[in-house]
Chain A
């Protein structure tokens, strides 16, 4: 079945450092969505990417969808303590949204 892997599993950065998580799917995706889940919270939608090679920005967050529509990345510039949480990509394959394994981000002040 469809598998979506993310690396790294965990990253601990100092506030102000940059952070990147990478998402790879075993199959081509119709689109990819990114979610953030704070500790003890629920997944919150961040953004959706649809087009091959698409790049979208939200303030300090930059999202990219690969040319082959099988991979994606999320880059955070100058992390803040409010960025703490687990970032999930979720790929839309055949009729189902499958979540990636997630990257847990810890930011120290």
Chain B
């Protein structure tokens, strides 16, 4: 069982809709991540938050807007998405930021399956 909780598990949205994906962890982790995974492909990093500040944005289009309201919560706001944005969106967390000392295991949530129609 994962300690990173993501909602909703499934989301279908139109190209003009605005929706949000939510992620929560109560492990006291200070780094949180959004990854995108297409079928039969590895997860691709989108954003990294470290101590509630955005530390990495992998040149993600502005139609994806991350938000970190506090150290336990991470949101991904979605607006004007395209059908090719349909994918599994994975939230993850780790004790410290990725460049910290070794032993920084990343824990993934079960993901949100997004379909854009």
Q: Do A and B come from one complex?
A: yes
| Cβ contact of A41, chosen from B41, B99, B110, cutoff 8 A | B110
**B43 and A44 form a contact (CB under 8 A):** no
Q: Contacting A45 at CB < 8 Å: which of B88, B99, B105, B110? A: B105
CB of A92 within 8 A of CB of B110, answer no
Is the beta-carbon distance between B97 and A95 smaller than 8 angstroms? yes
Q: Which of A31, A42, A96, A102 contacts B42 (CB 8 A)?
A: A102
Are B102 and A30 neighbours in the complex by a CB distance under 8 Å?
yes
Known contacts A41-B110, A42-B90, A98-B45; A48 and B99 CB within 8 A of each other: no
Number of interface residues of B (CB under 8 A): 25
Instruction: Choose one: A33, A42, A99, A102; the contact of B110 (CB below 8 Å).
Output: A42
In the complex the two chains form, is A43's CB within 8 Å of B56's CB? no
A61 at the interface (CB under 8 A from B): no
**Residues 103-117 of chain B: 1 if any A CB is under 8 Å from the residue's CB, otherwise 0?**
111111111000000
Q: What per-residue 1/0 map shows which CB atoms of B79-103 lie under 8 Å from chain A?
A: 0000000001010000001110011
What are 24 A-to-B residue pairs whose CB atoms are below 8 Å?
Answer: A30-B102, A31-B102, A33-B106, A35-B108, A41-B110, A42-B90, A42-B110, A42-B111, A43-B43, A45-B105, A45-B106, A45-B107, A48-B103, A50-B103, A94-B99, A95-B55, A95-B97, A95-B99, A96-B45, A96-B98, A99-B43, A99-B44, A101-B42, A104-B40
